[in-house]
Homo-oligomer: A and B are copies of this chain.
Amino acid sequence: MSLTVVGSIAFDAVRTPFGERPRMLGGSAVHFALAASFFDRVRIVGPVGDDWSPAEEAVLSGRGVVCEDIVHVRGGRTFFWSGVYGWDLNDRETLDTQLGVFEGFAPRLSPAAAAADVLFLANIQPDLQRAVRTQARDARFVALDSMNLWIEVARDALVAAISEVDCVILNDAELRQLTGAPNLIRAAREVLGWGPSAVVAKQGEYGAALITADGFFSLPAFPLADVRDPTGAGDTFAGGLVGYVAAHPEEPVDLGLLRRAMAYGTALASFNVEEFGTERVARLTGAEITDRVRALATLTQFEVDDLELRP
């Protein structure tokens, strides 16, 4: 089986109260690919410029990510993002965005990338997402991420893109913004009405929720005393979730499977935020992930007793 991700490959400059990195490997496709690499053979599709070096590629190939679909644009520069986080990491300010080679990116999948069993459309312009989705005709499971910018400037295209995928993964505030619905359940039902069979709401430090036509599931974030850099947490979460689906080609993607997928996504994201950028996930082991998924299972469990309540 195989998993293709299309999205940004970037250099990030990040400052948080717990440190800073003037230039680190980042981008939605990169964070996704590293997380998903624990579950399946991942092909990463995205553009890079002349500043891309074997050192960055080694981080990806070190995790078995197939890099032959990375598009090297001569004379261009790799997407660059710079941002600074507030004291509790719950808000961030973008200092600089340089699209570079990402500006003219029109993804064309190689036959191998197009033959993917599972496809993840990371946050890019929704018409591009649709174009990619068309190229990977036979993918049995397609998930999509987006952002507030596209809700604001390309909502119709985004709704069209959403209607063509199986699973939407968005921040919960974005789900409300996209639908105008005042709460998560109504927003998710609206989106399910457009076509997808699953909606995943990322809730940052609070965890994530999953809504399908027949159910609801929610997991808190794994509790951590040391969170250093949330950059890429959402894509790492998506990589764990979608990767888990990819690792189970024989199973229907139902609520039971997606619950377990949510747990792996949550575990992966929790490692991502412990250090800057890709640092922690790049040296993560499968045993560490499994341990954290098991710990997560116990964090949310309680016994129901047969207490008789007072009338």
CB-CB nearest 4 A-B residue pairs: A286-B309, A218-B220, A206-B206, A259-B302
Q: Counting CB contacts under 8 A, is A247 at the interface?
A: yes
- CB proximity of A77 to chain B, nearest CB, Å: 32
Q: Counting CB contacts under 8 A, is A182 at the interface?
A: yes
Please report the C-alpha to C-alpha distance between residue A73 and residue B247 in the assembled complex, in whole angstroms.
68
Q: Counting CB contacts under 8 A, is A91 at the interface?
A: no
Q: Counting CB contacts under 8 A, is A303 at the interface?
A: yes
Q: Counting CB contacts under 8 A, is A308 at the interface?
A: yes
Residue of B nearest to A87 (CB): B182
Give chain B residues whose Cβ lies under 8 Å from the Cβ of A23.
Answer: none
Known A206-B207, A223-B216: A39·B260 in contact at CB below 8 Å? no
- CB proximity of A248 to chain B, nearest CB, Å: 8
Q: Counting CB contacts under 8 A, is A263 at the interface?
A: yes
Q: Counting CB contacts under 8 A, is A289 at the interface?
A: yes
Q: Count chain A residues whose beta carbon lies closer than 8 angstroms to a beta carbon of B.
A: 57
Within 8 A of B (CB), among A252-266: 256, 259-260, 262-263
Partner of A88, one of B176, B209, B290: B176
Q: How many copies does the complex hold?
A: 2
Report A156-188 CB contacts with B as 1/0, cut-off 8 Å: 000000000000000000001000001111100
Interface of A is mostly: loop
- CB proximity of A76 to chain B, nearest CB, Å: 32
Give chain B residues whose Cβ lies under 8 Å from the Cβ of A176.
Answer: 88
Contact B220 A209 (CB under 8 A): yes
Contact B256 A303 (CB under 8 A): yes
| Sample (15) of A-B pairs whose CB atoms are under 8 Å apart | A37-B310, A39-B307, A88-B182, A89-B183, A184-B205, A185-B223, A189-B225, A206-B207, A218-B223, A219-B302, A220-B220, A256-B302, A263-B302, A297-B301, A297-B304
Contact B301 A300 (CB under 8 A): yes
Give chain B residues whose Cβ lies under 8 Å from the Cβ of A300.
Answer: 217-219, 300-301
Q: Counting CB contacts under 8 A, is A148 at the interface?
A: no
Q: Counting CB contacts under 8 A, is A19 at the interface?
A: no
